[in-house]
């Protein structure tokens, strides 16, 4: 009988997804230039914005197959705009997703691609249901701590990054006097 290594959570805080059977990638701040309102300073371009660690997608995935991963979003700002993930719609918007706050503080930004846009606070223990119709993006508002958020999604949902890369979200989150302030993107135009 083969006993396989089981992935596990390390608790207490900070949370870390560990094991030998994970996929992982890192996104540099410079790769997020389309996501920010201002040019990213040269000294920040090669720094890591976030990393994602996830269970590999099975080769024989079916429409009901789920996977699990954790995003670790570093704290930084680009001219006052908080650190953020690239953001995406699902390629197939019939599939939903869950996020679970593990460490740090921030927001989960939702947008339906039209007029509906809102955010929820993300904090350790928060649970977020993401209907497949919403694009979503994480924002880290903590100046010192990594925002760690777990996700569970259907592997056939896919990711549509191009829509957000081309048109962006219609709001941005900045630090003003030590607090998060939401601003409408003045140059935003719907491209859907």
pLDDT digits (tens, 9 = 90+) for 112-169: 999 899 999 998 888 899 999 999 999 999 999 999 999 999 998 999 999 999 889 9
Nearest CA to 155 among 65, 36, 20? 65
Return the residue matching tokens 């992982």.
Answer: 24
Residues of the domain holding 172: 15-184
Q: What is the pLDDT of residue 190?
A: 41
**Which residues, at least 6 apart from 85, have a Cβ–Cβ distance to it below 8 Å?**
27, 49, 50, 71, 73, 137, 138
Q: Residue 64, class by beta-carbon neighbours within 10 Å (0-12 exposed, 13-18 middle, 19+ buried)?
A: exposed
What is the tally of structural domains in the chain?
1
Q: What is the pLDDT of residue 125?
A: 84
Reduce the DSSP state of residue 139 to 3 states and report it: strand
In a domain, 4, yes or no: no
In a domain, 8, yes or no: no
Q: What is the pLDDT of residue 189?
A: 44
pLDDT digits (tens, 9 = 90+) for 67-102: 999 999 999 999 999 999 999 999 999 999 999 999
Find the CATH number of the domain harbouring 78.
2.60.120.10
Reduce the DSSP state of residue 72 to 3 states and report it: strand
- How far CA 61 is from CA of 22, 33, 70, 155, in Å, comes to 16, 33, 20, 7
Q: How far apart are CA 38 and CA 33, in angstroms?
A: 8
Q: How far apart are CA 130 and CA 135, in angstroms?
A: 9
In a domain, 42, yes or no: yes
């Amino acid at each position: 009988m083969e006993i396989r290594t089981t992935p596990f959570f390390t608790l207490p805080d900070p949370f870390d997804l560990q094991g030998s059977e994970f996929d992982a990638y890192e996104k540099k701040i410079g790769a997020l230039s389309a996501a920010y309102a201002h040019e990213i300073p040269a000294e920040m371009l090669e720094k890591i914005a976030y990393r994602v660690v996830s269970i590999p997608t099975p080769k024989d995935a079916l429409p009901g197959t789920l996977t699990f991963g954790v995003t670790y979003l570093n704290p930084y700002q680009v001219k006052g705009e908080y650190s953020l993930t690239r953001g995406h719609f699902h390629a197939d918007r019939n599939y939903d997703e869950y996020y679970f706050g593990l460490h740090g503080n921030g927001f989960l930004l939702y947008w339906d691609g039209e007029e509906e846009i809102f955010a929820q606070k993300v904090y350790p223990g928060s649970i977020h249901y993401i209907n497949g119709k919403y694009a979503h993006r994480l924002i880290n508002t903590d100046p010192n701590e990594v925002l760690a958020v777990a996700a569970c999604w259907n592997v056939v949902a896919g990711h549509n990054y191009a829509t957000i890369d081309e048109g962006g979200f219609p709001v941005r989150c900045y630090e003003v006097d030590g607090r998060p302030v939401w601003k409408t993107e003045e140059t935003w135009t719907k491209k859907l």
